[in-house]
Amino acid sequence: MSTPTKTFMQHLFQQRHAGLIERDLTTLLHSVATACKAIANHLKNGDLGDAMGALESENVQGETQKKLDVIANDIFLERCQYSGVLAGMVSEEMEDIHQIPKNLPKGRYVILFDPLDGSSNIDVDVSVGSIFSIFELPEVPEKLTIEDVLRKGVEQVAAGYAIYGPSTMLVLSTGHGVNAFTFDGSIGEFRQTHEDLKIPADTSEIAINASRRRHWDESLRNYVDDSFAGEAGTRGRDFNMRWIASMVAEVHRIMMRGGIFIYPVDDKNRAEGGKLRLLYEASPMGFLVEQAGGAASTGTERILEVDPTGLHQRVGVVLGSANEVACALKVS
Ligand code: AHG
Ligand code: MN
Ligand code: MN
C-alpha cells in the first residue's frame, strides 16, 4: 500500500516536533488554512451564490470593494481571532489595526493579510488568492500599536498564500524552505503535493502590465524592449509575456516554473510609492520567493529590508528567478 500524502497539519506537527516552529504558530496556521478553505467554498459557487459583484463601499485605499473582498476579510477575522495566539490583525480591507476582542484570549503573534488578491478577476472566473504574513512579538501587548506591526520583512516567522484556481492550493514557508499543499475535497484537508520548492535561476517568461509602458522609467523600458527584441536583440533569445492581474497567480506560476514579475514604481503611481502594498503583498511574497531561492526587490532595495512607515504603504516589486531579477535591476 502506498503511503498517503501528508496533510497540512501533519506537516506542521513534524515541523513542531523538529523544533522548527512553536506550538502557537501551528495553531495560527491551522486557523489560516481553515479560513482559506471557507473562502474557497464561497468562491466555488460563483454566480449561483450571492457573493459576486461590487459593493457601494470603498476600502482605505479608495478602491471599490467587491462583496467577496468583505466576505473574505470577515472569514479571516472570524477564523483567526479565536485562535488565542494573536495580538491583533492587519488587513488590506481595514484602515486600522484589528484588536482582538476583550472576551477572547490573546497571544504574541500578528497576522497581516490581503484576504482576496486579484479581486478584479472574480467576476471573470480567473484565479484569485489570499496572502498572509506573520510576525511574533516578544510579549503579549495590552493593545497592539502601529509601531508593533511596522516590522521589516526579514523578521517574518511565516508567510504564505492560498490560490483559488482550478484546484485550491496553500503555499507556505516558516523560514525552512517552501512547501505546497493541494486541497483534497474528499477529506476536507490540504495535502502536501510539493516539497522544498525551488525557483529556477533563469527564465524566459516576463510578467508586467505593458499598458503602463508610457509611464515607466527609461531603464525599465530598455530592459523590456531588449527582452522582447528576440534573437536579433542584445539578449539573443525569445521571451514570452504573461499578465494575469492577480499577484498570487503570477507568483504561483513563478514558484512552479520560474519567471519574473514586475509591478514598478512609475510616473503614474510614484506619489503613492507604487501599486502593491508592502506589508501584506510584497513582503510575504518576497519572503516566499527568497525561501525558494529567488530574488525580490523594490527596484532599489531588497523588499525584506524595507523599513515600513505605514500599514498600507506601497512599494515597487521586481521578483522571481534570481538571474532575471539581477538582469532587470542592472538595466533599470
Ligand atoms: P487586490 O485585488 O488585492 O487589490 O490586488 C490587485 C493587485 C495584484 O494582485 C495585481 O498584480 C495588480 O493589482 C494588478 O494591477 P493592474 O490592474 O494594474 O494590472
Ligand atoms: Mn492584492
Ligand atoms: Mn485584496
Q: Report phi then psi at 291, rounded to 5.
A: -65, -25
Query: Is residue 119 within 6 Å of ligand 1 at its C-beta?
Result: yes
Whole-number Å distance, alpha carbon 220 to ligand 3 midpoint, is 26
Length of the chain equals 332
Find, among 178, 158, 181, the residue nearest to 168 by Cα: 181
Q: 330: which 3 cell numbers?
A: 542592472
Distance set, CA 310 to CA 60, 77, 89, 167, 290 (Å)? 12, 21, 14, 34, 23
Alpha-carbon distance of 234 to 187, in angstroms, equals: 52
Say whether pLDDT at 201 is over 80.
yes
- What letter would DSSP give residue 7? B
pLDDT of amino acid 154? 98
Contact status, residue 90 vs residue 73, Cβ threshold 8 Å: no
267: three-class secondary structure by DSSP: coil
Query: Is residue 107 within 6 Å of ligand 1 at its C-beta?
Result: no
Alpha-carbon distance of 286 to 288, in angstroms, equals: 6
Beta-bridge mates of residue 215 = none
Task: Considering only residues 8 and 47, tell me which one the structure prediction assigns the higher pLDDT.
Answer: 8
Give this prediction's pTM. Answer: 0.95
> Mean pLDDT throughout 190-209?
98
H helix or E strand, kind and range, residue 71: helix 67-81
pLDDT tens digits for 236-285? Answer: 999 999 999 999 999 999 999 999 999 999 999 999 999 999 999 999 99
Q: 255: which 3 cell numbers?
A: 514558484
Residue nearest to atom 19 of ligand 1 (CA): 245
Query: Is residue 118 within 6 Å of ligand 1 at its C-beta?
Result: yes
Average pLDDT in the chain: 95
Q: Rg (Cα) of the chain, in Å, rounded?
A: 19
Query: Is residue 121 within 6 Å of ligand 1 at its C-beta?
Result: no
Say whether pLDDT at 125 is over 70.
yes
Query: Is residue 114 within 6 Å of ligand 1 at its C-beta?
Result: yes
Alpha-carbon distance of 40 to 33, in angstroms, equals: 11
Find, among 186, 147, 163, 121, the residue nearest to 248 by Cα: 163
Alpha-carbon distance of 9 to 64, in angstroms, equals: 36
**Nearest atom within ligand 1 for CA of residue 61:** 4
pLDDT tens digits for 136-146? Answer: 999 999 999 99
